[in-house]
Amino acid sequence: MIEMRRIIGIVGSSNMPINDDAEEFILKIIKEIPLYDVIVTGDASGVDFLVRTLCIENNRMCSPIYSKEQNFNNGYKKRNQIIADYCDKITSVALPVTKTPCYHCGRDDHERTGGCYTGKLNGNYEVRIFR
């Protein structure tokens, strides 16, 4: 049986800390994805940065999608729409709720994140909370 290559997005909180625990958390997600699949992420800090870095360090195919402008509507929102359209599945990584719960996915156990916005646009997504 021939496996079809999928395009998997890993996106989420730009507030994600850059430390050993966060790297371990993201690397676990990356390693769950078959080697023949392509990983897509954005160009933001936090989750996107860790995904890009860890894919390079672990010889994984990663295709970052860059914002054309550094603003919400024509930059980040448009980038997230492109990721949602391009991917077969999205994993949104979020931090526990601090001030504003996520209204994108309807859950109240994590912060509001563009990763859930992207996942909701895609329709085939999961949320993973880094604690």
Tell me, what CATH number does 31's domain have?
3.40.50.450
- pLDDT tens-place string over residues 72-98: 777 899 999 999 999 999 999 999 987
CB neighbours of 20 closer than 8 A, spacing ≥ 6? Answer: none
pTM of the prediction? Answer: 0.93
Q: Is residue 74, in this structure, part of any structural domain at all?
A: yes
- How far apart CA 55 and CA 120 sit, in angstroms, is 24
Does 76 fall in a domain?
yes
For residue 54, give its domain range. Answer: 7-129
Of the listed ranges 2-11, 18-27, 122-131, the one predicted with least confidence: 2-11
98-125: per-residue pLDDT in tens? 778 888 888 889 998 889 999 999 999 9
Q: Is 2 among the domain residues?
A: no
Q: Is residue 54 part of a domain?
A: yes
Per-residue model confidence (pLDDT) at position 1:
65
Q: Is residue 93 part of a domain?
A: yes
Residue 1 domain-assigned (yes or no) = no
Q: Classify residue 67 as left (phi > 0), alpha (psi -120 to 50) or beta.
A: beta
Query: What is the distance between the alpha carbons of residues 20 and 34, in angstroms, rounded to a whole number?
Result: 23
Our count of domains for the chain comes to 1
- C-alpha pair distances (Å), 96 with each of 17, 87, 102, 112: 13, 25, 10, 9
